[in-house]
Amino acid sequence: MSVPRYWRNMPKRERLETQKCEKCGHVDFPPRGRCLKCGSESFVPYTLPDRGKLMSFTIVRSAPKGFEKMTPYVLGIVELSDGTTITVQITDVDPSEVTIGMPLEAVFRKICEDGDSGIIEYAIKFRPAL
Ligand SMILES: [Zn+2]
């Protein structure tokens, strides 16, 4: 059975997979080698929900080298529906229309494409949920 092309090319849902501390239950995203809260190094796999709301944000006007073309962009702190908070770029919205508390959903955006190897990298961003 062949897998439909559109499906194969779809960015992986697994990008929202991270880890949960086995000791204290703290969730880090992206995953780290040790728990930020208790220092434990034992984790269980954990998939973050793809919905949340905006807790706070800043509009980035001067970006690090290599990201100048992206400015201005919105960097938000998003509280996901499970209570985890992550820092992530908010996309598909005019910075002037971003408001605290707005509902958001995860999207996967191509961040770079290696022409030679054909490797495409995706990053998670959040956009206003309809
Ligand atoms: Zn912990």
- What pLDDT sits at residue 52? 97
Q: What is the pLDDT of residues 5-25, one digit of tens each?
A: 544 444 455 578 889 999 999
Task: Give 15 Cα–ligand 1 centroid separation in angstroms.
Answer: 22
Range 9-16 contact pairs with CB under 8 angstroms and sequence separation of 24 or more:
11/108, 11/110, 11/122, 12/108, 12/122, 14/47, 15/108, 15/122, 15/123, 15/124, 16/47, 16/48, 16/49, 16/50, 16/106, 16/124
Residue 2 pLDDT > 90, yes or no? no
Kindly report the pTM of this predicted structure.
0.75
Alpha-carbon distance of 125 to 16, in angstroms, equals 11
Q: What is the pLDDT of residues 62-91, one digit of tens each?
A: 877 777 777 888 999 999 999 999 999 999
The arithmetic mean of pLDDT across residues 99-112, rounded, is 87
- What pLDDT sits at residue 35? 94
Task: Give 117 Cα–ligand 1 centroid separation in angstroms.
Answer: 38
Q: Which residues make Cβ contacts (< 8 Å) with residue 116, sequence separation at least 6?
A: none
Task: Give 54 Cα–ligand 1 centroid separation in angstroms.
Answer: 25
* pLDDT over 90, % of the chain: 55
